[in-house]
Amino acid sequence: SSYRGTDASLVLQHARSMSSVSVPPPKCLQKTFVAPRRHMFGPGPSNVPPRILAAGAEPVIGHMHPEMLEIMSDIKSGIQYAFQTENNMTIAVSGTGHTAMECAIFNAVEPGEGVLTAVNGIWGERAAEMAERIGAKVNSIVTTAGGYFTSEEIDQALAKHKPVLFFLTHGESSTGVVHPLDGIGDICHKHNCLFLVDCVASMGGAPLYMDKQGIDILYSGSQKVLNAPPGTAPISFSERACQKVFNRKTKPVSFFLDMTWLANYWGCDGKPARIYHHTAPVSAFYALRESLAILAEQVTLVWFLNHDAIHTLLDRNARLPTVTTIVAPPGYDWKEITSYIMKNHNLEISGGLGPSVGQVLRVGLMGGNSSKASVDMVLEALRDALRYCHKSKV
């Protein structure tokens, strides 16, 4: 036993310590945890395939071991492929999609600068709130939930407000909109403005070309089409974005998300030595790498096409292929429907979010979940729910 050799004085000293222990070990932790097996057909997280779970369960090594730096380099390449970008400044943030959203705004904007956000659901509102918190002057263009913006509307708003950053959500998972991107980058650049795009819910499931579409900052999440556990977030900065990010007058409010530090940690700053910044989520990076490896095994045509073909089976309006919004069946309580399906079919679909609460059901079929078998399962569950749930409850 490891207690041999402990001398008596030490035991006494700790016996004294022991008398200070007043909070007992909690009984709830005595239960063995086994996660339920579920069809994750909500807007995310999606089902994580065994191959990615297994990668995440490989033994933990050091956050700066050579093998880890190689994994980070692989992740960088994988994100460049997924984003269709050659940007050197491409990394994964050690956090969720929200962390990446803050990383983008914290680094690109200084206090007092103008930010314009396009609001057609919850994400534009959250970006506005984040920018306000760091002292930016925030304006928003707003359209009805489910709507999107024309290039003319964006052009006019940029001319009026002259922001340094324009935020747009590519895949509005709260309303099921995939926003057109072509041409908007050019409009932003005409107004000397950076183009920031949230592709958390769309990346890998809808056509997206960071470089060709002139996107300056693009971020996503791991738990949607990539089918990795939540907790890591791809992000990339164009040359134009880097010019602004690395020539600030003030430091970003967050040390943890400061791209000057992160660029070094990810080997993107050309300096020979990596300086310790933070301890990366090693296991989550293993899983993210594996999810990108799976994406890279498919030709791009397939991942887009597959999502669109599947989506078309549910919704013919050519909207967001990854998360399909279905008008909530009139006369039913949507919560009863989703609960019924969870209980009887072991399957998650979700209600609305933000402006779409009560209006829609949301079905996410992302990555490996994007198959005709999944669609059939969802439709059968819905049919069953409509039969057994109470009508005229609302």
Q: Which is nearer to its own copies, 255 or 388 (CB)?
A: 255
From 130-138, 154-162, 235-243, 265-273, span contacting its own copies (CB under 8 A): 130-138
Q: Rounded to the nearest whole angstrom, what is the least distance from the CB of residue 330 to its own copies in the complex?
A: 25
Cβ neighbours of residue 323 under 8 Å, at least 6 residues apart? 43, 44, 171, 173, 176, 201, 362, 363, 364, 366
| Residues 60/279, Cβ–Cβ less than 8 Å | no
- Site membership for its own copies, residue 175 (CB under 8 A): no
Among 201, 282, 360, 378, binds its own copies (CB under 8 A): 282
Per-residue interface string for the shown chain with its own copies, residues 100-119, x marking contact by CB under 8 A:
-xx-----------------
Cβ neighbours of residue 197 under 8 Å, at least 6 residues apart? 167, 168, 169, 170, 181, 215, 217, 218, 219
Q: Which helix (H) or strand (E) holds 161?
A: helix 151-161
| Residues 180/206, Cβ–Cβ less than 8 Å | no
Six-digit token string for 255: 């040390």
Q: Which is nearer to its own copies, 251 or 391 (CB)?
A: 251
Cβ neighbours of residue 366 under 8 Å, at least 6 residues apart? 44, 46, 204, 205, 224, 225, 227, 307, 322, 323
Per-residue interface string for the shown chain with its own copies, residues 245-264, x marking contact by CB under 8 A:
------xxxxxx--------
- Site membership for its own copies, residue 272 (CB under 8 A): no
Evaluate the CA torsion angle 220, 221, 222, 225 in order and state its sign: negative
| Residues 258/242, Cβ–Cβ less than 8 Å | no
Q: Which is nearer to its own copies, 36 or 270 (CB)?
A: 36
- Site membership for its own copies, residue 300 (CB under 8 A): yes
Task: Give the CA distances from residue 119 to residues 125, 128, 146, 172, 196, in Å, rounded to whole numbers and listed in that order.
Answer: 6, 9, 10, 10, 13
- Site membership for its own copies, residue 62 (CB under 8 A): yes
**First and final C-alpha spacing in the chain:** 65
Residues numbered 14-53 forming contacts with its own copies, rule: CB under 8 A = 14-15, 17-18, 20-26, 28-31, 33-38, 40, 42, 44-45, 47-48, 53
- Site membership for its own copies, residue 359 (CB under 8 A): no
- Site membership for its own copies, residue 355 (CB under 8 A): no
From 9-17, 183-191, 234-242, 325-333, span contacting its own copies (CB under 8 A): 9-17
Q: Rounded to the nearest whole angstrom, what is the least distance from the CB of residue 324 to its own copies in the complex?
A: 15
| Residues 213/73, Cβ–Cβ less than 8 Å | no
Residues numbered 361-390 forming contacts with its own copies, rule: CB under 8 A = 370-373
Q: Which is nearer to its own copies, 200 or 389 (CB)?
A: 200
- Site membership for its own copies, residue 392 (CB under 8 A): no
From 136-144, 159-167, 187-195, 292-300, span contacting its own copies (CB under 8 A): 292-300
Residue among 87, 94, 83, 97 at smallest CA distance from 261: 94
**Residue 362 annotated as lining a ligand binding site:** yes
Per-residue interface string for the shown chain with its own copies, residues 311-350, x marking contact by CB under 8 A:
-xx----------------------------------x--
Q: Rounded to the nearest whole angstrom, what is the least distance from the CB of residue 192 to its own copies in the complex?
A: 26
Among 110, 209, 240, 246, binds its own copies (CB under 8 A): 209
- Site membership for its own copies, residue 99 (CB under 8 A): yes
Q: What is the 3-state secondary structure (H, E, C) of 311-330?
A: HHHHCCCCCCCCEEEEECCC
Q: What is the 3-state secondary structure (H, E, C) of 1-31?
A: CCCCCCCHHHHHHHHHHHCCCCCCCCHHHHC
Q: Where are the beta strands (DSSP E) in 22-99?
A: 39-40, 89-93
Q: Rounded to the nearest whole angstrom, what is the least distance from the CB of residue 237 to its own copies in the complex?
A: 16
Phi/psi of residue 269, nearest 5 degrees: -105, 5
Strands 360-364, 350-351: pairing is antiparallel
| Residues composing the chain | 394
From 152-160, 265-273, 295-303, 330-338, span contacting its own copies (CB under 8 A): 295-303
- Site membership for its own copies, residue 310 (CB under 8 A): yes
Annotated binding site for substrate: 362
